[in-house]
Structure 1
Amino acid sequence: MLLASRHMLRAVSLGALLAVWLPAQAGLFDDDEARKAILDLRSKVATGDQQRGELAAQVKQLTEQLQNLQRNLLDLNNQNEQLRADVAKLRGENEQMRRDVAEVQRYQKDIAQNVDERVRRLEPQQVSVDGKDFLVEAEEKRAYDDAMAAMRGGEFDKAAPALVTFLKRYPSSGYVDSVRYWLGNAQYGLRQYKDAIATFRAFVTAAPDNPRTPEALLALANCQAELKDNKSAKRTLEELIRQYPKSEAAQAGRDRVVTLK
């Protein structure tokens, strides 16, 4: 009986102890899991913070790279604009250079033409007067042309002294025969009959084969007639008819000689 009571008491005590210990152990298990969960959460938060930090660093780095890229692009754009301006300037300079070169070429061409013209003026030139070809100097030709221009304009007062000067300056010129003939006509136009007679006679004597010689003899006879020297005029007309019978001047001389007494 006593033994049974002891066993029952032990069972009751063990049950009480289990009743106290099991809830306590259950509480311990709950705290560990919570602590573990908290630690896990903290670990995750720390990991997230680290990742956010790394991400922020990457974002910052990318932002700096982007800013550098933008600056580089701006620099390139500025350089491109400057290059365009330089190209436009070079094009303008090239265009101006082409115009300058063209102007220089035209200037050189004008100089070359002027030089050629001056050389031609200085070089002897071949001319043909009254069927005779000969060479003359540029100044010689100019003096003759100027005198003949005055003669053609009826300016006998200018032509006569110019022709006299020519004979003195170029006594051996191929123009001499022509100059004498036209000088006689200029003197006749100025009514300088005695001078005209001497000039025509010098022409006839020096150039008997000149195609203008018959006309010179007729003009000489007219000068003599103007001076009332009909006898000399008649002899001159007879000379004309005898030496140049087929000329138009000879026909006019035949008509004129019958009027002289």
Structure 2
Amino acid sequence: MNRINTKAAIMMAVLYSGFGHAAPATVLDVNDSTEQVVTSKPKRSVEQRLTRIENILKARTRAQLETQQRLDQLSIELMNLQGAIEESNLEQTKITKRQRDILNDIERIRTTLVAKPVVPVVADQNILSATNQPVNLTGKDSYNYAIKLIKNERKYDEAIPALQSFISTYPESELAANAHYWLGLLLRKDNKNDEAKAEFEKIVTKYPKSNKRADSLQKLGQLAKLAGSTSEAKRYFNLVIKDYPNDAVAKLAKQELATLK
């Protein structure tokens, strides 16, 4: 009986002490029950890397060419606007000159009438015939036809031979420099860079006073840069800055030079 009581007392003591202390938590080691999986990326071979780099370079080159073609297209659009302004100014200049010539003729006729009243008709006829004969030395109709193909009809392939025909027929026309410039832009648009370069060079050498000379030098610099001739490109850009420091194109030339350093 005493042994039973003793065991009961011990059990009660153990149960009583359990109320004051929390049972220790069971710690599970995840690594003991779950296998760690390590996935390694497959290494690319040298050939694969070179192929990837080559594809990237080709994509960049293609993007540069597309950008240059877009710039050339925008240049043509800009020239459309500039050409309209220039033609308007040219017409205004011709009208002003014609008015001045008429006033001079009137003054000469009046002077002749006062000095020689007996034979005024002969003198008058000579003067009038010398000043009123229309002489088409510029070939403006031919030029306007080519420009119309560019501006209004966007027929660039037809405009090229039209401009070439105008230049061949009217090499001394006051519009010849403009025709060379338009022709250079269209040839550049078709990636005929050597032919385009020849047109811009003609403007620089044959028409030094043309308002297209600065833009032609800039275009020659861009063509040289595209061809990989850095020294030649720098020479053209520096000429733009030197000869036309206050022109907007000089700012573009400075930007081009910055990319070559």
TM-score of Structure 1 vs Structure 2, range by shorter chain? 0.3 to 0.5
Decide which structure has the larger Cα Rg and report it.
1
TM-score normalized by structure 1?
0.46
When you count helix as a share of all residues, which structure comes out higher? 1
